[in-house]
Chains A and B, each alone.
Chain A
């Protein structure tokens, strides 16, 4: 097993740095905003930021192959993601079944075009 740099000083510094940094980022907004009345427009913007950020995160994960936009290679992934989304929207709640259906459609498509 390759333990990488685990246990070395650099490794520990990296762990500590990442931990402190991530916590600071996450806590900063909670600490600043918790229990305060926010302007309604600001609240609304934050509400809309949720779908926006998740889409911005997920769509490249679906369509990019090795850091490049590649619809030719990734269209089965796109179709599988759409099937997953439609199913999840239709049957609200629960993630396991949409996940299985999505992976099954991906491998089904990949098998068909093999």
Chain B
């Protein structure tokens, strides 16, 4: 492929990323707001007492690192952690899975702008088989749409959110948005059973210290999925042999 054609392809991939994540902005606004709200309402025990204004911390830390490597600072882990239901360490597993070298070489800034929605979008793109040569361009287009909103909405949420009544249960939009994002990605029996196993194990192992239960549940769900894969392959080959 000539380099100019390649350049055009990568521009197209970038644009596709922008368009994909542009659609996510309306849902991302409440998501960011809610994270800000939840952080404040929970009083952020992990900061060592008192309610900390996490949004400002996020904003400042985010800004500082945008200069060096372009990273998002204190992220959703923190936000969920603020509810005492930290995904600490756990999302790393998801992170690891979703990026998995699909985002091409030289992607030194990618870790910085990764939010769950950007990597789910990247996963969805990969499943559709689009822009396979230019995952990084797609990813950056996506991140360009979402990351600034994330920071801004967290800030607004933390300032304004303390005034919203907790009976609205706005924090419940966090699991709901994960459900809405991930369910459409479940297509094969192995994936569905991996999710079920992961969910059940997540509940049973919830009490494990330092949220290691989440990692264990991820490993367990993955193993179940692999096992189902192997069973299906075995069945398919024995059916093939019978014919």
Contact = CB atoms under 8 A, between A and B. Distances in A.
B73 A15 contact: yes
Contacts of A59: 199-200, 202-203
Contacts of A29: 95-96, 99-100
**Binding site secondary structure of chain B:** helix
Given A30-B99, A50-B97, A23 B69 contact: yes
B74 A51 contact: no
B137 interface: no
Interface string A46-61: 1111111111111111
B182 A80 contact: no
Q: Which of the four size classes fits the interface of chain B?
A: 35 or more
Interface in A1-51: 1-6, 10-11, 14-16, 18-19, 22-23, 25-27, 29-31, 33-36, 38, 41, 43-51
B10 interface: no
Contacts of A77: 172
Given A58-B182, A92-B184, 7 more contacts: A30-B101, A33-B100, A33-B101, A53-B93, A95-B180, A103-B172, A106-B169
25 contacts: A4-B47, A4-B50, A4-B51, A5-B47, A5-B48, A5-B50, A6-B52, A15-B60, A23-B65, A26-B114, A43-B100, A45-B222, A48-B226, A53-B94, A54-B94, A56-B90, A57-B94, A58-B179, A61-B175, A69-B203, A84-B176, A88-B181, A89-B184, A94-B23, A102-B179
